[in-house]
Amino acid sequence: MSMAAIRMSFSWVDRDPRRPLRPMSDDRRTAFAEGEAILYRLFDVGYEIHLDAVADLLAPITTERAGPGRGEAQAIQIANPPVTARLGSEHIEVGGVRHQADVSARIFDFGVVSLRISIPCPGPTWPSFVALGCRLESIAGMPAFFGVQLEKLLGRIGAAIERPGVASVTEDYTVFRLPRVLGDDGSELSLATLRDDELVQLLLGERRTLSPATRQELLPHRFSYGLDDLVIPTWTSALIVEPVSEDTDIQYVLEFANAQLLELRVYDALLDAELPRMYDRITRSRSRPTLLWRRFGPLLQDLQMLVADSTEIVERAENSLKVTDDVYLSRVYASAIDIFRGRAWRRSIDRKLTIIRETYEMLNAESLALRGETMELVIVLLITVELVLGIVRR
């Protein structure tokens, strides 16, 4: 499918008259210089991706393996930086206006591919930018677009993927990035003028008036390194106000956190599906006519492999980025992990792995007991045979 054929179903300044946005006074109406909405879709495509091979396979596409560039980025250690590649650009028609959107990918060694499309937003008013956030979920054609881009990319890097296979679980995220907030007269406004209800509309698409407690829960973190920048991460999106166009470190750590979240979700779903199958296999193994001590042999091998693979990939994903000090970037990253419930996903995986390990130990103990009983029976039979032969010889 050509991206030119995909039409977006909203306008930058269009409003729904049935549910109008909350009116603002003239001094609250703001306009932004060149900004962008970056749509991410992350896929798990295999057990491991060999990044050195990826860089070779993508040539002559320009690739890089840089990490965060800020001075305080020394608090973040990335043993195997992901490969970033620009995949080209597509003309997208948005509300009757054609935009040239950049398409790129970031490829992680633990099996995740992050596809990104950056839609430029030249100078919209603040209400229209809020309307943009409210309408992103209704964009038509984006799943098909990302599917086509993924298929093309995997066609090029497939040889670098170990045990390839695209998981059904995906992760979506949106970043709204702006260089600064300007008033209608061109003067720069304080970032403190952005109200919670406006931010909830933009980042969560929520038009109802929320209680202060709910707003606090939905917007738990705000970060500013200086007076002219701001980061507000949420579960599904983030607002980044950053005057330095080359500084993409915040997007980097948010994307990394989403990649780790996807890996946890994929293996949690895998273990969810494996538990019922494990119980069915135990039932079938008990009724299978075979040597008693070998009836669980194949199942024990599979359970052992499942635990080893799950533990290794989850540990690799979690340890791919380490935070050493509590400075700005690491606080943003830690807050993203907290918002994404990363620790809850890990606890869920650990509980399921514990069930599988305990089942393995139970079946293994049962197999050993059956083997011991069988050996005892053989010994008794041998002694009986020897006694009978002794009597017969007399």
Q: In one letter, which amino acid is 343?
A: R
Q: What is the helix (H) or strand (E) element at residue 164, kind and residue range?
A: strand 161-164
Q: Could you give the CA distance from residue 386 to residue 132 in angstroms, rounded to a whole number?
A: 89
The angle, 0 to 180 degrees and rounded to 10, between the axes of the packed helices 126-135 and 196-204 is 40
The answer to whether the CB of 157 falls within 8 A of the CB of 58 is: yes
By residue count, the chain amounts to 394
Chain-centroid distance, C-alpha 76: 19
* CB-based contacts of 58-61 (< 8 A; 24+ apart in sequence): 58/83, 58/85, 58/156, 58/157, 61/85, 61/86, 61/87
Residue 126's pLDDT is 65
The angle, 0 to 180 degrees and rounded to 10, between the axes of the packed helices 342-393 and 249-287 is 30
Phi-psi region of 95 (alpha: psi -120 to 50; beta: other; left: phi over 0): left
String of DSSP letters for 111-161: SEEEEEEEEEE-S-BHHHHHHHHHHGGG-SSHHHHHHHHHHHHHHHHGGGE
The answer to whether the CB of 10 falls within 8 A of the CB of 94 is: yes
Residue 78's pLDDT is 87
Question: Bridge-partner residues for 106, per DSSP?
Answer: 84, 114
Per-10-residue mean pLDDT for the chain, 394 residues long?
Answer: 37 32 40 74 95 90 79 77 90 67 93 92 65 64 88 94 94 90 65 79 77 81 88 92 87 94 92 81 66 63 80 84 80 91 89 82 72 75 81 74
Whole-model pTM: value is 0.79
Helix, strand, coil fractions of the chain, as percent rounded to 5: 50, 20, 25
Q: Could you give the CA distance from residue 370 to residue 216 in angstroms, rounded to a whole number?
A: 59
Residue 192's pLDDT is 77
- Kindly state the DSSP code that residue 103 receives in the 8-state scheme: E
